[in-house]
Amino acid sequence: MNETMIVGLLLGSLAAMVPIVLTSVGATISERAGVVNIGYEGILMLSAFFGTIFAEMAHNGWVGLLGGALTGLALGVVHGVITVYLKGDHVIPGIGLNLIGYGGVAFGILAYWGTAGQHQVPSYAQISPLWMDAFGNSLSPMVPITFFIALLAWWMLFKTPLGLRIRSVGENPEAADALGINVELYRFTAVLIASALSGVAGAYLSVDWLGTVTKTIAAGRGFIALANMVFSGWNPLMALVGGFIFGFFDNLAIYIQNNPWLAGAIPWQFIATLPYVVTLIVVAGIIGRARPPKWDGIPYKRE
Amino acid sequence: MSFSTELRGYGKPLAESVLAILIGALIGAIVLWLSGYDAVAAYKALLEGAFLGGNFSETLSKSTPLILTAITFAIGARTGLFNIGAEGAVYFGAIAAVGVTQVLQNPLAGVLSGLLIGALWMLPAAVLKVYRGVHEVISTIMLNWIAFYIASWMALSVLANPNNPNSTLPIPPGARLPLLVQNSTLSMAFIIAVVASIVVYVIMWHTRLGYELRTSGQNPRAAEYGGINPKAAMVWSFLIGGMTAGLAGAVQIMGIPPSYSISQGLANVYGYGFDGIGVSLVGRNHPLGIIFAGILFGALNAGATQMQQTGVPLEMVKVIEGIIIVAVAVPGLLDLFVKPFRRGAQ
């Protein structure tokens, strides 16, 4: 291993942590307010797709991220109305959303671009890197932005009145309600923030990091993000740490697959299981001391 | 409870499921129309492909694995678990059936191997849930991905067909499930799925074990006071669910001509675990409702091939299925539609 490879692996890990951290931070805000959503995988899929369409129309990758956020927001409205206002189950809509995501993107790639299963994002619709070396290693502007968003979310949740209210409706909605806090409004807002962040993460996959839309582009990251949220103890700053660990193994798998001298020793399929195995081990090891918000996933109905 | 009141109790959920299906079809038509397709022609082809003439046997054949994986989810849901790990157990059920029947050329051996490996594959998720408190949605999704890569590797290595790089070794003729309709893909597998549903229904509603599973699903604390061990109930729920999912994978290969083998990239066993979740929700997590919901989803999948000939991508049916599930998740869906009319009548 030489210096370039280490730099490459490090930058690759940073690139891979972006979608996981953004989604984890969003999910943390939503669950702190008491709303579970397992549909982030579907949000990542659909916003990767619609984000690309936005970016191609505007000839600008940043517009793609905005398109991703809007896509996430629209899907968040559906989830929020069902779970917060209609008091529905928190898990079932997400199962539907994930199915719509995988079916819709496979359908959409064929219907919109006429190619089967994959569409290359043209360079004019991609976000240009902040920095790049001669070996193709690069640093996306989304990496520092992600660190900033995680920091901001932590500050918002734990240092502002808004955060206190969000946490109170997830921890004890009855008491919050008695104090005159609009439980439904704060829960709904938290769901929207979460979905929009996940939407940005999805668009990042296509218009920035991977530069392509495929019919399996999310590849389980929506669920890895949920695992990372549990690992982080519902804390955005710890989500950065977990995100880097998951990003590292995600990247290591791709890295080993692309290096024949390593890949020859172990079947690539085994290496591809790494991010998922690590997720399981980490979550199993950490869960004993992780405590979710008390009213996480429970619809709140006024007595 | 008399049979007629029991039947009346099914009325509302049935009406809600039908409404959800209609909403799925309607929004699906809007998506098709917005994407520039002829929705009427697409749906006509879909229905013809699913129900016209001999096509119905294709529908029943396609419903077979879905019924079995839906049972996996339903048993979990009735025990208070969101077990979405059927997908991985399906892969290994198929792998086990192909492997075991190479040695023991007997359909029973294939079926049993599917049941056994399915239960074994669910064990890690059960252990993580009971001993470490890992939420089953996270563990089963991770296990699905792990299963996909390991099963793909096994299909390409240990079970590789030296004469055909695109599939595994076939199930030997002596271990194949007999066809119910000649020149179709409808085999004994469908009967097995229906029997399995009835067996699960009897276990869940007419045995002590089923009572314990359902009680701990409804109220784990009350179950504990009643002398039921909710942890044991969870483990049983995972194991029985794993068995039906493993069975789905096994019969999917043992009963489908002409290849009787697993295709490259697990293509002919992929996705049934996920689709089974929708089937279970539409069937209201009830084994008997699931048989009908399974046939409905089977019809969507069978009709999709014909719909594709009108130019509409196959995956459109997945979008419709997803919308149906979201609609099912809306509580009091029926009331939302019926209430405004009632108020008007008063």
For residue range B222-253, list pLDDT tens digits in order.
888 888 998 999 999 999 999 999 999 999 99
Per-residue confidence (pLDDT) for residue B1, from 0 to 100: 45
B175-191 pLDDT, tens digit each: 999 999 998 999 999 99
Q: How confident is the model at residue B346 (pLDDT cuts 50, 70, 90)?
A: very low
**How many structural domains does chain A have?**
1
Q: How confident is the model at residue A301 (pLDDT cuts 50, 70, 90)?
A: confident
Q: How confident is the model at residue A14 (pLDDT cuts 50, 70, 90)?
A: very high
pLDDT at B2 over 70: no
Angular region, A72: left φ>0, alpha ψ -120 to 50, beta rest: alpha
**What would the two tokens of residue A94 be?**
């997400």
Compute the half-sphere exposure of residue B178: CA atoms within 13 Å on the CB side of its CA.
Answer: 1
A133-192 pLDDT, tens digit each: 877 788 999 999 999 999 999 999 999 999 999 999 999 999 999 999 999 999 999 999
Instruction: Tell me whether residues B146 and A273 touch, CB distance under 8 A.
Output: yes
Residue A133 in any domain: the answer is no
Average pLDDT over chain B, rounded to whole? 91
What one-letter code names the amino acid at A268? W
pLDDT at A263 over 80: no
Average pLDDT over chain A, rounded to whole? 91
Per-residue confidence (pLDDT) for residue B29, from 0 to 100: 96
Residue A284 in any domain: the answer is yes
- Give the A:B interface size as CB pairs under 8 Å: 145
Looking at chain A, the whole-number percentage of residues with pLDDT higher than 90 is 69
Query: d(Cα B53, Cα A263) in Å, to the nearest integer?
Result: 51
Q: Specify the range with the lowest mean pLDDT, choosing from A61-65, A95-99, A295-299, B302-306.
A: A295-299
pLDDT at A83 over 70: yes
**What would the two tokens of residue B144 be?**
């699905």
Q: How confident is the model at residue A288 (pLDDT cuts 50, 70, 90)?
A: low
Q: Specify the range with the lowest mean pLDDT, choosing from A176-185, A216-225, A255-264, B167-176.
A: A255-264
- Domain spanning B58-306, CATH architecture: Orthogonal Bundle (1.10)
Q: Counting beta carbons within 10 angstroms of the beta carbon of residue A160, is it exposed (0 to 12), middle (13 to 18) or buried (19 or more)?
A: exposed
What residues contact B53, with CB distance under 8 A and at least 6 apart? none
Tell me which chain B residue has its CA closest to the CA of residue A109: B313
List chain B residues with CB under 8 Å of A223: 137-138, 141-142
| For residues A11-35, average pLDDT | 96
Q: Which among A78, A88, A280 has the least Cβ separation from residue B142?
A: A280
Instruction: Tell me whether residues B322 and A227 touch, CB distance under 8 A.
Output: no
pLDDT at B156 over 70: yes
A221 near A20, Cβ under 8 Å?
Answer: yes
From B272's Cα to the closest Cα of chain A, the distance in A is 12
pLDDT at A80 over 70: yes
Residue A278 in any domain: the answer is yes
pTM given for the model: 0.90
Query: d(Cα A263, Cα B300) in Å, to the nearest integer?
Result: 41
Residue A117 in any domain: the answer is yes
Instruction: Tell me whether residues B322 and A99 touch, CB distance under 8 A.
Output: yes
Which among A191, A210, A223 has a CA at the least distance from the CA of A49?
A210
Looking at chain B, the whole-number percentage of residues with pLDDT higher than 90 is 76
B41 near B333, Cβ under 8 Å?
Answer: no
Per-residue confidence (pLDDT) for residue A94, from 0 to 100: 93
Give the largest CA-CA distance in chain A. 65
| For residues A222-249, average pLDDT | 90
A97 near A43, Cβ under 8 Å?
Answer: yes
**What would the two tokens of residue B311 be?**
């130019």
Query: d(Cα B342, Cα B346) in Å, to the nearest integer?
Result: 7
Query: d(Cα B171, Cα A244) in Å, to the nearest integer?
Result: 45
What one-letter code names the amino acid at A146? T
Instruction: Report the complex ipTM.
Output: 0.91
List chain A residues with CB under 8 Å of B322: 42, 96-101, 103-104
- CB contact, 8 Å: A98 with chain B? yes
Instruction: Tell me whether residues A111 and B313 touch, CB distance under 8 A.
Output: yes
Instruction: Tell me whether residues B326 and A93 touch, CB distance under 8 A.
Output: yes
3-class DSSP assignment, residue A120: strand
Q: Find how far residue B242's CA is from the centre of its chain.
A: 12
Q: How confident is the model at residue B15 (pLDDT cuts 50, 70, 90)?
A: confident
- CB contact, 8 Å: A289 with chain B? no
B29-68 pLDDT, tens digit each: 999 999 999 999 999 999 999 999 889 999 999 999 999 9
Range of the domain at A200: 3-127+139-289
Residue A296 in any domain: the answer is no
Tell me which chain B residue has its CA closest to the CA of residue A98: B322
pLDDT at B263 over 50: yes
Contact map slice: B 216-275 vs A, CB within 8 A? 274-275
pLDDT at A254 over 80: no
Per-residue confidence (pLDDT) for residue B342, from 0 to 100: 58
The CATH number for A80's domain is 1.10.3470
Q: What is the CA radius of gyration of chain A?
A: 19
Per-residue confidence (pLDDT) for residue B5, from 0 to 100: 59
Contact map slice: B 146-205 vs A, CB within 8 A? 146, 149-150, 152-153, 157
